[in-house]
Structure 1
Amino acid sequence: MVSDGTMSTQSQNPPYGGVDKTEVDKRSEKEKAIDAWLPITSSRNAKWWYSAFHNVTAMVGAGVLSLPYAMSELGWGPGVAVLVISWVVTLYTLWQMVEMHEMVPGKRFDRYHELGQHAFGEKLGLYIVVPQQLVVEVGVFIMIFASVHFVLSHLPNFNSISGVSLAAAVMSLSYSTIAWTASLDKGVQPDVEYGYKAKSTVGTVFNFFSALGDVAFAYAGHNVVLEIQATIPSTPEKPSKGPMWKGVIVAYIVVALCYFPVALIGYWVYGNGVDDNILVTLEKPTWLIAMANMFVVVHVIGSYQIYAMPVFDMMETVLVKKLNFPPGFMLRFITRNLYVAFTMFIGICFPFFSGLLGFFGGFAFAPTTYFLPCIMWLSIYKPKRWSLSWITNWICIVLGVALMIVSPIGGLRSIIVQAKTYKFFS
C-alpha cells in the first residue's frame, strides 16, 4: 500500500471476464499532494470498527424516533413488511457498493460520484449522482448546532472525526434503547387503537406515502459508504472490502437493534395515538426523556460531520483541482465556515424544511440507497438475463423506483399545508 492509496495489481484477478482493466497511476506529484490533502483520500489507516460506527452514525439518526408514527400510518402488516424489506434491500445494495469500490485492479472508487462516472460515463455519472448526493448530505442534519460545527468542521478528514462518530453511534443506540424500554415499561395503553388515524381514504393514502418516506429516510446511509471505505488501507492480498464488510455487518446488527424494537414496541404500546417523536409521547420519567434528548443532540452533531465531510471534499476538490486555488488552512477555513453558515441560514429561514427534505429527499434517498447501486451493478458486471443476480437487482430497482415516485408526495402535501401559515424567519 502506498501513501496515495493506489494499489499494486499483482495477484489481482480481473473482474471483467478475464480482461485486465489495470489502471497505472499517472498522477503528477502535485496531484498526489492534492489527494493527500483532500479529506476523503488524505488518510488510509482506518480499522474495520471505524466502518462500523461511521455507518451506524450515518444511518441510525433521530429518524428512528419517528418509526412508531410511520408504523401507525402503514399498519401492522405493511409496516413490518416495509421495515424488513428495507433492511434487506439496503444491506444488499450496500454490499454491492463495498464490492464495487475496488472492482478495477489498481484503482479505488473513493467517492460515490466516481463510481457513477465509471458506470455511466464522465459527465452523465456526475449529473446522476452528485445532485442526489448533495440533497441528502446538505439536508440531513441542519440547524441549531452551528456554533459547535464552526469548530468541528475544521477537523481535516474522516479518521479525525472518528471519536465524534463513535460517541454519536453510542448515543444513537442509547436513545433508541431508552425509547423502546420506556415504552415497554409503560405497557399497552388502555385506549390503544391500531386503525388508521385519517378519516378519509385520501388522507390515509397521503399518510401512507409520507410514512414510506420516513422509512426511506431512516435507511439512508449509502451516500457516504464509499467515502468511509476509502479510509481503510488496501492491498491485493487484503482488499478494503474485507474489513469494510465486517464493519457493515456489525452496523446493520445495531440498526436492527435500534429500528425494530422502537418501531414495533412503540406502535404496540401507543397505537395510532403515538406522536411523530416517540419521546414526546413518553413524556415521563422526565429525567430519562431529557437524557434521551441530550443523546439525540450529541448524535446529530456527529452525524452532521459524517455527512458534511463528502461535501467538504467536493467543494475543496473543485476549488483546488478546477479553479487552481492553493490547498491550505485558509481555503478550508473559509469554505467550511461558509457551508456551516449556509446550512444554519436555511434551517432558520424555513420552518417547514423537513417537508422540503421529504419532497426532494424522495428523489435522492430512494435512488442512492435502494436502486442506483443495482443499476451500476447491472451496467458494469452485466449478469446473465434471468439469473439470480439479474432478477434480484431488477426487483430492487422496481421497488426503489416506486418508492422514489410516491415518497415525495407526503412531503409535498406537508409543504402545501404548512406554507399556508408560513412566515419568513419564523
Structure 2
Amino acid sequence: MGSSSNANAVQRVTDEKQRRADEKQRIDDWLPVTGSRNAKWWYSTFHNVTAMVGAGVLSLPSAMSWLGWGPGVLALVLSWIITLYTLWQMVEMHEMVPGKRFDRYHELGQEAFGEKLGLWIVVPQQLIVEVGVDIVYMVTGGHSLQKFHDTVCPSCKKIKSSLWIVIFGSVHVFLAQLPNFNSVAGISLSAAVMSLSYSTIAWGASVHHGQEPDASYAYRDTTVANTVFGVFNALGQIAFAYAGHNVVLEIQATIPSEPGRPSKIAMWRGVIVAYIVVAVCYFPVALVGYWAFGSSVGDNVLITLARPRWLIAMANMMVVVHVIGSYQIYAMPVFDMLETVLVKKMHFPPGLPLRLVARTTYVALTCFIGITFPFFGDLLGFFGGFAFAPTTYFLPCIMWLTIKKPKRWGLSWLTNWICIIIGVALMLVSCIGGLRSIIIDAKTYKFYQ
C-alpha cells in the first residue's frame, strides 16, 4: 500500500510538471519572439538594417559640420567598429549555455546579473529605447507624409502635423496584429530597401548638386557654449545611429538552431551583410553631404537640397515606408513583454482578442504621445542617453566580462573596458545635449500644432 501511494504521488508530480511544461511551450509558441523559429540568415540582414538605419542618417552631415573632418570621420568609424564588436558579443552569448537560448535581452541580463537585478537593469533601458524610438518614428512618419504632400502639391490646403501623425498611426493598428517577427519579414525587407534607397538619393543628389561655392569646413562661428553643446548633440546623433542592439537577441531567437549548426552562424552572416549596408548608407551620406554644403548644411540634408522637387518627394515617401517597418521591428519585443505579463502573470487567455486590445492600445499610446510632444526627439536624447549608449556600447561588454570572465589585462579584457569608457562618456554627453535641447524647444512649444 505504501509503495503504491508513493508511486501515485510521484506520478502526480511528474504529470503536473509535464502539464506545466506543455502549457509553457504552448504560450512560447504563441508569443511573438518565440512563436516562429524558421527564419533564414538573410532575415537577420534586413531586420538589422531596418532596426539600425533610421531617418536619422539624414542628420549625419549636420553632425559632421559640428565635429569637422577629422573628429567626425573618427566618430563614425569608431562607432561602426565598437557596435559591430558588441553585436558580435551578443550573438555569441545567445547560446553560451548548452541546451538553452537567451531569446530576449533581459534573459541574458538575468544570466549576467541575477534573476531580479538583471530585470531591473535591462528592462527599463530596453523599454526606453523601444517605446521611445516608436514614438519618434510615429512623429517622423507623420512629418514625412506631410513633407511629401506639401512638396507634391504646394498650393493645396495645409494640414496640421498632428493629423498626419494620426494617419500614419492608423496604418499600425492593422500591421501590429501580425503575430511575430517572421510575419513582418516582408515589411522589414521593404523598409531595408527604402533605407538604402533614400540614403543613396541623399548622397547622390548631393554629388549632382556639387560643392557650394562658399562651402566652409571651418568650425561654426558661435559662442563657446553653443559649440560645446553642438558637439555633444553631434556625438549623440552618431551614437544613436547605431542603436539596433535592443532587438538583436529577439531577432536571433527566430533562427533555427541545431547541435552541429547553432543559430549564431546564420545570425552572424546576416549581421556582416547588414553592417556592410549600414556603412554604404552612413558614410557616403555623412561625408558627401558635408562636402557639398560644409558647415551650412541643415539638420536634414534632403531639406537642404530642396531640388529636384520630385526626387525629394519620393525620398520622403521612402522614409515613410522605412519607418513603418522600423516601428514594427522595435514594437515586436514590447508586444512580447506586454503579452508575457498579461498571459503568465495576469492569466489572461492567449488569443486574438487579447492581442487586438493590447497592441492597439500600445499603438494609440505612442501616437498620442507623438502628437502631444512634437519635440519628443529631444526628450529621447535626454532619457535615451541612459539607455541607447548602455544597451549598445557597453552593457554587452559588462555582460561579457561577468559571464565569460576573460583574463585580466588580456586583449578581450582591455577591449571591453575601452568600449565601456567610451560608452559611458557618450551616455553623459547625450543626456547633457538632450537636456539643453528640451529647455530651448520648450520655450516655443505649442500643444497639437
TM range (shorter): over 0.9
Q: 1:36 & 1:153 partners in 2: Cα distance?
A: 18
Q: 2:235 & 2:177 partners in 1: Cα distance?
A: 36
C-alpha deviation, 1:25, in angstroms: 10
Amino acid in structure 1 at the alignment position of 2:207: L
Partner of 1:3: none
Partner of 1:86: 79
Partner of 2:8: none
Relative to total residues, which structure has the larger helix share, 1 or 2? 2
Match of 1:174 among 197, 200, 210: 197
Q: 2:20 & 2:66 partners in 1: Cα distance?
A: 53
Residue by residue over 1:209-260, the C-alpha shift from the partner in whole angstroms, topping out at 9 and shown as x without a partner, is 0011101111000000000000000011000000000000000000000000
Partner of 1:235: 258
C-alpha deviation, 1:88, in angstroms: 0.1
Amino acid in structure 2 at the alignment position of 1:209: F
Q: 1:271 & 1:263 partners in 2: Cα distance?
A: 11
Q: 1:301 & 1:339 partners in 2: Cα distance?
A: 15
Partner of 1:184: 207
Unaligned runs of 5+ in 2: 1-16, 139-164
Name which one, 1 or 2, has greater alpha-carbon Rg: 2
Aligned residue runs from structure 1 range 138-149, under 5 A:
138-142=131-135, 143=138, 144=165, 145-149=168-172
Unaligned runs of 5+ in 1: 1-23
Does the 8 Å contact 1:176/1:258 carry over to 2? yes
Q: 1:220 & 1:231 partners in 2: Cα distance?
A: 20
| Match status 1:130 vs 2:123 | yes
Partner of 1:342: 365
| Match status 1:57 vs 2:46 | no
Partner of 1:5: none
- Structure 2 vs 1, CA of residues 58 and 25 (structure 1 numbering), >3 Å: closer, same or farther? farther
Q: 1:273 & 1:72 partners in 2: Cα distance?
A: 8
Partner of 2:69: 76
Amino acid in structure 2 at the alignment position of 1:132: Q
| TM-score when normalising by structure 2 | 0.88
Partner of 1:48: 41
Match of 1:352 among 375, 381, 389: 375
Partner of 1:225: 248
Partner of 1:13: none
Q: 1:86 & 1:198 partners in 2: Cα distance?
A: 27
Does the 8 Å contact 1:210/1:408 carry over to 2? no
- Give the fraction of aligned pairs with identical amino acids, expressed as a percent: 75
Partner of 2:11: none
Q: 1:68 & 1:198 partners in 2: Cα distance?
A: 17
Match of 2:413 among 378, 383, 390: 390
Partner of 1:95: 88
Does the 8 Å contact 1:175/1:292 carry over to 2? yes
Partner of 1:416: 439
Q: 1:269 & 1:25 partners in 2: Cα distance?
A: 66
Q: 2:190 & 2:446 partners in 1: Cα distance?
A: 37
Partner of 1:112: 105
Amino acid in structure 1 at the alignment position of 2:25: K
C-alpha deviation, 1:408, in angstroms: 1.5
Partner of 2:218: 195
- Structure 2 vs 1, CA of residues 296 and 25 (structure 1 numbering), >3 Å: closer, same or farther? farther
- Structure 2 vs 1, CA of residues 210 and 198 (structure 1 numbering), >3 Å: closer, same or farther? farther
Partner of 2:179: 156
Q: 2:18 & 2:424 partners in 1: Cα distance?
A: 37
Partner of 1:19: none
C-alpha deviation, 1:424, in angstroms: 2.7
- Deviates most, 74-83 or 137-146: 137-146
Q: 1:116 & 1:72 partners in 2: Cα distance?
A: 38
| TM-score when normalising by structure 1 | 0.93
Partner of 1:4: none
Does the 8 Å contact 2:63/2:234 carry over to 1? yes
Match of 1:295 among 312, 318, 331: 318
C-alpha deviation, 1:182, in angstroms: 0.6
